[in-house]
Structure 1
Amino acid sequence: MLQDPQGRKFSYLRLSITDLCNYRCTYCLPDGYKCNSKPDYLSLDEIKMVVASFARHGINKVRITGGEPSLRRDLPEIITAIKNTPGIEKVALTTNAHQLDRKVQQWADCGLDAINISCDSLDGRMMKAIIGRDNLAEMMAGIDIALKSPIKQVKINTVLLKQHNYKQLDQLIDWVKDTPISLRFIELMQTIDNKEYFKANHVSAEEIGKHIESNGWAQILRGKNAGPAKEFCHPEYDGHIGFIAPYSNDFCASCNRLRISSVGKLHLCLFGESGYSLRDLIVKGRETELDQFIANVLQDKPDTHFLHQGFSGGTTDLAMLGG
């Protein structure tokens, strides 16, 4: 298994298949997606090779991210290919719910095990204010289909924003009383492009945690392949509540995930300076070199990010690596 100098072991790969996104979320791409040249995304064959390499290193969970991954027409083939890779036990997907009601059953049929759906409000007007459109009806229909499908885990990601949906916190929590989903509140993170927005809208995850615990929620132990969320359960609720707290002091200590960008760069941290290109090694006949390069590069993984100092590395927006 891959291990860094701090002794952290890695079993979880976040694989971006596009940086393209069709939404205009105020906290990520308020002015929409911009590209000065046609991107050269990893092909299906290259994705198969890079996932196989990480699987040989002990990675057993892959999350497909974007941008918005559903904008790639070959997403079903990508899900199938990753699912059929020896050593991969779990395939997950993060989506903004674009045409979720039309597509989620096909993804489930391809072997998708888990899905994370972005939903920042249960009010259509608030949704439009945050993401630039009201997609609440198709999202809710898609969530219902996902819950009835073979998909084992349905999680909802909500970015809490002081000037927008923070007042709806209790309404969102009430949603899981009779709905078997995991609702995770994500602490807004500062990037190169959102410093003023961050100052105006940041809500501390510590504050969210205190609110949850004061209302009878108890923390659940993390699984070995779990993401960074601290998750809570309540005896009177069908669903779970969680929060992702990148500004907590111990956030990086439990890091178990690596990231591949849509153009084949290995990123050791979401908020690192730059990635390491694997593109020249993702070719038949160079598998051993690829495996060795990945193991060597991991020795450069830093102890922690520097978000507390206002440094977000090379991350201009969260769409570029899928968070």
Structure 2
Amino acid sequence: MRCRPEPGSGSVGTAPLADRYGRRFPYVRLSVTPACNFRCSYCLPHGYHAETGAAGPLSLEEITRLLRGFAELGMHKLRITGGEPSVRRDLTDVLRAAAAVPGVNKLAMTTNGTLLSRRLHEWMDAGLNAINVSVDSLDRAAFARITGHDRLDDILRGVEMALAGGLSMKLNAVLLRGVNDDELPRWLDYLRDHAVGLRFIELMQTGDNLAFFRDHHVRAGLLETELQEAGWQALPRAADAGPAREYRHPDYAGRIGIIAPYSKDFCAGCNRLRVTASGDLRLCLFGEFGIPLRQHLQRDDQLDDLVHAIGGQIGRKEQGHFLHEGRTGVTPHLASTGG
């Protein structure tokens, strides 16, 4: 772990935290709500239900203090997640506050896109400059089966608006055996003319989806081999990129990324930390514990305490997850931590 600079030493923009394995963490994923308005079969098939007695989401003021602390430690990329972040009424204010934090130069969000066509320009005006939209199928009926909502057409209209507005755009599709794993030809038709990054995400086991996982898990590496045989070429990984292995093809405007958490050395390039909606630091999506930070977010004069609390925990980050052993940590479903 790098030493923490003295307060006021101009640490914003310096090298990010590093762990004992030499991995650096310029990227933070912040959940702003655990709630979601979809019922995705692989995540919340019965819809979102608040836990009795659970702490509420961080306030706007707490979020601002949290981000100032991470910026002190070298964060320059922030992704807002949920649940579904757009169900939070003050989301635009959250985006505006995040964009104003010195050192944050990439402000991204992952959303199901249900409000994209209505709120896009408001979010962009607040400072959003990149967005990932979950689109698990281009088949309207399959999309409705997966998500519980027949909203594909409206979501794709929002995607078109975002592309026209120049927003950096990626689409996420969770691979599900027997549900959408035969859609590559349909996606290739879409990518021929749409300059988006499509991410195929291998289904991950969580605390409450074991039966579904066993029925629908398919190795993303099989799709990767298919792409390589069709002439798709691997791209170098950017320093602040996510975990996807990206591919491009000269005949297509879009790119394809493969997120394969069960592949060898998947965690070697980990570059992000996560914070739950209630303010717990998660060193890994599938970690065994969370570190509460909320007590350090109540006053503006607690920045030093917050920075020390974050920096002092990085040494506890494991070299990799334990999904191969069926250990899913404290993550009951992906909405609980923001994926």
- Do Structure 1 and Structure 2 share a fold, with TM-score over 0.5? yes
Residue number among 88, 106, 114 corresponding to 1:72 in the alignment: 88
Question: SS of 1:62's equivalent?
Answer: strand
For residues 126-141 of structure 1, what are the structure 2 equivalents within 5 Å?
Answer: 126-141=142-157
Which residue in 2 is equivalent to 1:41? 57
| Aligned CA-pair RMSD | 1.0
Which residue in 2 is equivalent to 1:244? 259
Residue number among 65, 81, 90 corresponding to 2:97 in the alignment: 81
TM-score by length of 2: 0.93
Which residue in 2 is equivalent to 1:93? 109
Which residue in 1 is equivalent to 2:12? none
Which residue in 1 is equivalent to 2:38? 23
Question: SS of 2:67's equivalent?
Answer: helix
Q: Deviations over 1:202-226 (max 9, x none)?
A: 1101101101111110011111110
Residue number among 237, 249, 257 corresponding to 1:222 in the alignment: 237
Cα offset, 1:45, TM superposition: 0.8
- Structure 2 counterpart of 1:246, one-letter code: P
- Structure 2 counterpart of 1:226, one-letter code: A
Q: Counterparts of 1:20 and 1:168 in 2: how far apart (Å)?
A: 29
Cα offset, 1:150, TM superposition: 4.1
Matched, 1:208 2:223: yes
Question: SS of 1:286's equivalent?
Answer: helix
Cα offset, 1:110, TM superposition: 1.3
Cα offset, 1:106, TM superposition: 1.2
Q: Deviations over 1:36-64 (max 9, x none)?
A: 24641101111111011101100100000
Matched, 1:123 2:139: yes
Question: SS of 2:123's equivalent?
Answer: helix
Q: Counterparts of 1:41 and 1:161 in 2: how far apart (Å)?
A: 31
Question: SS of 2:193's equivalent?
Answer: coil
Q: Counterparts of 1:105 and 1:216 in 2: how far apart (Å)?
A: 37
For residues 255-274 of structure 1, what are the structure 2 equivalents within 5 Å?
Answer: 255-274=270-289
Aligned length: 322
8 Å contact kept, 1:108–1:150: no
Q: Counterparts of 1:246 and 1:226 in 2: how far apart (Å)?
A: 15
The percentage of aligned residue pairs carrying the same residue is 46
Q: Counterparts of 1:63 and 1:273 in 2: how far apart (Å)?
A: 22
Matched, 1:314 2:317: no
Q: Counterparts of 2:163 and 2:239 in 1: how far apart (Å)?
A: 24
Q: Counterparts of 2:300 and 2:99 in 1: how far apart (Å)?
A: 20
8 Å contact kept, 1:176–1:238: yes
Which residue in 1 is equivalent to 2:312? 296
Question: SS of 1:285's equivalent?
Answer: helix
TM-score by length of 1: 0.98
Q: Counterparts of 2:217 and 2:185 in 1: how far apart (Å)?
A: 18
Which residue in 1 is equivalent to 2:13? none
Which residue in 1 is equivalent to 2:26? 11
Q: Counterparts of 1:169 and 1:23 in 2: how far apart (Å)?
A: 24
- Structure 2 counterpart of 1:142, one-letter code: G
Q: Counterparts of 1:209 and 1:165 in 2: how far apart (Å)?
A: 16
Q: Counterparts of 1:98 and 1:86 in 2: how far apart (Å)?
A: 30
- Structure 1 counterpart of 2:150, one-letter code: D
Which residue in 1 is equivalent to 2:211? 196
Cα offset, 1:236, TM superposition: 0.5
Residue number among 178, 181, 193 corresponding to 1:166 in the alignment: 181
Q: Counterparts of 1:165 and 1:91 in 2: how far apart (Å)?
A: 30
Which residue in 2 is equivalent to 1:176? 191
8 Å contact kept, 2:175–2:220: no
- Structure 1 counterpart of 2:276, one-letter code: S
8 Å contact kept, 1:105–1:145: no
Q: Counterparts of 1:38 and 1:199 in 2: how far apart (Å)?
A: 30
